[in-house]
Structure formats: structure tokens, C-alpha cells
Amino acid sequence: MTAAIDVTTVPYYANVEGMPMVSGLTPEDRAFKFATLSIVGKNIPLVLAVEPVRESSAWDDNPSNQVHRVVRRLVKRAKEHVQIETVLCDREFDSMRVFQTLSNLGVNYLIPKRITSTERETIDTMEADGQKVAVENVIVDVETGSHPMRFLYVPSTKSDGTTVFATNLRVGPDEAESFCRRYSRRWPD
């Protein structure tokens, strides 16, 4: 079964004193943030697990959640009810610790990456070579383990340019673009 992990932000306007789960978006704006794990399918946005997401800001004393731990709790809770094969996550979950956590839990993942200078260099090389799709093999190596993974460079479905996804599945250049379309089709129109 395929699941999606998303983060939702709900503005909070009341007094925040004694409200440790209210995060500061800016010094003036506050909100509740929570992550949900939902089953992906036609007409089935079925939420199986919810976890608060607490962020730390310079203007508050909140200790932040470690996002990989939020992911672990969501997946473990959902696996009590259904078999989870693949997880699609928001870009907010682009982290080596999240990738390894999902691998340790025995689930596949597809997560859009933030484009850093390293990814920008690969995209520039692709453009210079006239490539539309590329697959880069990398290794996740963190304190909780390591595993092989791939960065998939594919044409963006929302604009001109290239989008980068991370996955632990074996995907080659010929199927990378269609595989990544799974992400944009995770919710029916």
C-alpha cells in the first residue's frame, strides 16, 4: 500500500503561554503544525496517523522535534493497521536521517529534494549535455545505518526546469520520469 506523509499548518491567534506545541512561524505569527500519514488512492484520503510537529525558533523556548522521529512514529502507528510498501513525503522531509529511518522500517520512499549547489551542478551538466533525465547513485550513511539510494533528476511537472527526487528503489533513467509522476498523482483531482 502507498501512503503519503504531509505537514499541515493551522494558524493560532490566542495567547501562546503554556502552549508548547504552538510553533513560531515568524515573531508575530504562530501556528499548530502536524504531520499526517494517509493512504493514497482514488477517493481514499484516509488518515491513519497524526503527530504534532514542534519547531524551535529564536523567539521561543520550544525544543524542536527531530523530523525523522516523527516519521518513525507515523509509520509504526500506520503499520499496526495496514501493510505500508511505499511512502511519499513532502519536501520538508528531505533529510538523510528520514531516508535511513524509512529504510530501517522496511518501506520504500519517494521524496522531492531541496535543490542545493550539488544538485544545481548536476542539473547544469544535464542541460549542457542536452539530457532531460538522469539518475545518480548515492549512499546514505548516518549513525543509524546506511543504504544505497538514488537521486532522480526529471522534468518538472509544474514549471520549466528539473525536479530532483530521492528514492531507495532501483529506478533507471528510462523509467525515472514515469516513476516520479506517482508523486504528483498522490491525490486525485
Question: Which residues of the chain, if any, have pLDDT below 70?
Answer: 20, 24-27, 56-65, 185-189
- pLDDT at residue 186, as a whole number: 62
- pLDDT at residue 129, as a whole number: 94
- pLDDT at residue 94, as a whole number: 94
- For residue range 54-92, list pLDDT tens digits in order: 776 655 555 556 889 999 999 999 999 999 999 999 898
Structural domains of the chain, with CATH: 2-184 (3.90.350.10)
Label residue 92 exposed, middle or buried (CB < 10 Å: 0-12, 13-18, 19+): middle
Dist CA 115 CA 123 (whole Å): 9
| Residue 15: HSE in the Cβ half-sphere, 13 Å Cα cutoff | 2
- pLDDT at residue 89, as a whole number: 94
- pLDDT at residue 31, as a whole number: 82
Dist CA 174 CA 152 (whole Å): 11
- pLDDT at residue 188, as a whole number: 47
Dist CA 106 CA 17 (whole Å): 40
DSSP assignment string, 111-128:
EEPP--HHHHHHHHHHHH
In the block, residue with C-alpha cell 522534468: 155
